[in-house]
Amino acid sequence: MQPLSSSSTVNDPNTSTSSDPQSGEGFRISDQPIVRRNGNAAAGNGSPAQGRANVAETDFLYVIARDPKSVFVYWDLNWKRLFAEAGLSPRQVHLRIYRVDGSIEGTQEINPFRGHCYADVATAGTGYYCELGCLDDGEWTSLVRS
């Protein structure tokens, strides 16, 4: 058995054995960067994120049950715009969890640049929604709601 070199072509038994890397068939181990210096993907015209902007144009905040007693929260937000719209300078961000009846389940500090966090909830089978926002002298300012 020969070791793979940087120009070897590896094929799945269900895939064509074509060794032409331009044919799009098979799998080619490249000795070149996957993303060219101009930012375009080597295999196509799009960026690696397939058109995803560096700064979120649409804000997303998703909350999904992780297990009966915790939730997974994911966000893709334009923080600069959100703070400007709220009239705030950038500051510490918190996650606030609400029960479906509007009562506050809890508030916790988060790292907004992680893009996700986990949070514990008290009751399994209960509906929840979340907000990311800021606390100033105990006053809540919501930046985005799930």
pLDDT in tens, 34-51: 665 555 544 444 444 444
Say whether both 74 and 42 belong to one domain: no
pLDDT at 8: 38
Q: Which residue has the higher pLDDT, 42 or 86?
A: 86
Say whether both 45 and 65 belong to one domain: no
Domain of 24?
Answer: 1-52
Say whether both 74 and 47 belong to one domain: no
Say whether both 20 and 45 belong to one domain: yes
Whether the predicted model's global pTM rises above the 0.75 cut: no
Task: Give the number of domains in the chain.
Answer: 2
Percent of the chain with pLDDT over 90: 56
Using alpha carbons only, give the angle 18, 20, 26 rounded to the nearest 5 degrees.
Answer: 50
Confidence at 12, pLDDT banded by 50, 70, 90? very low
Question: Would you call 70 helix, strand, or coil by DSSP?
Answer: strand
CA separation (Å) from 146 to 58, 72, 94, 98? 13, 12, 14, 10
CATH at 88: 2.60.40.10
Say whether both 139 and 67 belong to one domain: yes
pLDDT at 37: 57
User: Does position 62 have pLDDT exceeding 50, yes or no?
Assistant: yes
